[in-house]
Amino acid sequence: MGTEIERKFLVCGEGWRQGATSVVCRQGYLLSAVECTVRVRVIGEQGFLAIKGRTVGISGALPW
């Protein structure tokens, strides 16, 4: 199984809330197997299909 790279940042203060908006986001998985994952997302009036296959050799630390 591959390693997913994810970065998180801590937001200080409450100032960011002023410009924030929200939308309803629904998601579900049609297939989740070793070979691939198929996900469907509906955000507002748009739908998105993500197909992720097996990845080899792309994990690692970022230079910053």
Report, as residue numbers or ranges, the catalytic residues: 29
In contact, 63 and 9? CB cutoff 8 Å: no
Tokens of 40: 């469907």
Q: Among 51, 54, 53, 33, which residue's Cα sits nearest to residue 41?
A: 51
